[in-house]
């Protein structure tokens, strides 16, 4: 129930962030994710869970977004090579999932180094990168 609610909230954050008249900027976008992840972590793991959840959601989302430029450049390169839109979309969907997975693993490693609950941080990263980063990136590929 907590993950489903957190996932829904991530989607709402992403929708607002992508809106032309959004009240979110890159910093407040991460803060919104941190609050959502922190509340989910609090619900499942108390105070320590709140810190790990906020950390995992913010770090995972930030790492994934930093890699988005690579995804956009690869998409353009594939199209310029003459690949069909359908094949490009298929390849880039896999790449987006790979970027999300990389962000999740790096977040877990960072949580371990920081002495946080690795499971809670990783779970928050999974929920946020799948329900915000990956979904938003995929929408961008559905031209």
| 6-30 tens-digit pLDDT | 889 888 898 888 888 999 998 999 9
What is d(CA 129, CA 143) in angstroms, rounded to the nearest whole number? 21
Q: What is the pLDDT of residues 69-122, one digit of tens each?
A: 777 788 888 888 888 888 888 888 888 889 999 999 999 999 999 999 999 999
Spatial distance between the Cα atoms of 12 and 35, rounded to a whole number of angstroms: 13
Q: For 42-60, what is each residue's pLDDT tens digit?
A: 999 899 999 999 999 999 9
If you search the block for the tokens 């941190």, which residue do you land on? 34
- Where does the chain have alpha helices with state H? 2-18, 26-80, 85-114, 118-128, 135-141
If pLDDT is split at 50, 70 and 90, which confidence band does 142 have?
low
Q: What is the pLDDT, as a whole number, of residue 121?
A: 95
Position 141 scores a pLDDT of 63
Q: Are 125 and 103 in contact (CB under 8 A)?
A: yes
Residue 106 CA to residue 36 CA, distance in Å, equals: 20
What's residue 61's pLDDT? 92
Distance separating alpha carbons of residues 17 and 43, to the nearest angstrom: 25
Q: What is the pLDDT of residue 140?
A: 67
Q: What is the pLDDT of residue 143?
A: 53
Instruction: Compute the distance between CA of residue 125 and CA of residue 97 in angstroms, rounded to an integer.
Output: 13
The upper half-sphere exposure of residue 37, i.e. CA atoms within 13 Å in the direction of its Cβ, equals: 32
Question: d(Cα 85, Cα 76) in Å, to the nearest integer?
Answer: 10
């Amino acid at each position: 129930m907590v993950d489903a609610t957190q996932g829904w909230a991530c989607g709402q954050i992403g929708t607002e962030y992508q809106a032309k008249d959004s009240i979110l900027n890159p910093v407040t976008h991460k803060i919104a994710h941190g609050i959502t992840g922190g509340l989910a972590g609090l619900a499942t793991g108390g105070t320590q869970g709140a810190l790990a959840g906020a950390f995992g959601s913010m770090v995972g989302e930030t790492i994934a977004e930093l890699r988005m430029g690579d995804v956009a450049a690869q998409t353009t390169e594939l199209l310029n090579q003459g690949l069909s839109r359908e094949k490009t979309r298929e390849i880039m969907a896999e790449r987006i999932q790979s970027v999300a997975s990389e962000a999740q693993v790096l977040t877990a490693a960072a949580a371990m180094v920081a002495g946080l609950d690795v499971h809670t941080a990783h779970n928050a990263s999974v929920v946020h990168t799948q329900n915000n980063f990956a979904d938003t990136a995929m929408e961008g590929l559905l031209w």
